[in-house]
Amino acid sequence: MGVRSQRKHEKHAANDADEAALLEALLTEAELACDYWQDGPAARQQMREDILAAAKHQWRDLLEYFRAQYRQR
């Protein structure tokens, strides 16, 4: 593997790690919203599915929304 190829691979791996951390944080915050609304298992599963169906570029905005709405409650 050449130096350029390795750097590209490392950058891609770092982006994957950032994406995974963002998704984990988003799902955690979504659980707080479900707790607030006392959602049952079906609603919680739907929330997870809706988040996974959202475009990845929207995840950060969703995370900020959940933090703003449900962290102070």
Residue where the block lists tokens 């962290």: 71
pTM of the model: 0.79
52 neighbors 18 (Cβ within 8 angstroms)? no
pLDDT of residue 5: 60
Type of residue at 43: A
Q: What's the confidence (pLDDT) of residue 14?
A: 76
Report the sign of the C-alpha dihedral through residues 38, 40, 57, 9, in that order. Answer: positive
* Residue ranges of domains in the chain: 22-73
d(CA 33, CA 71): 9
More reliable by pLDDT, 69 or 12: 69
User: Which amino acid is present at 2?
Assistant: G
Of residues 6 and 53, the one with the higher pLDDT is 53
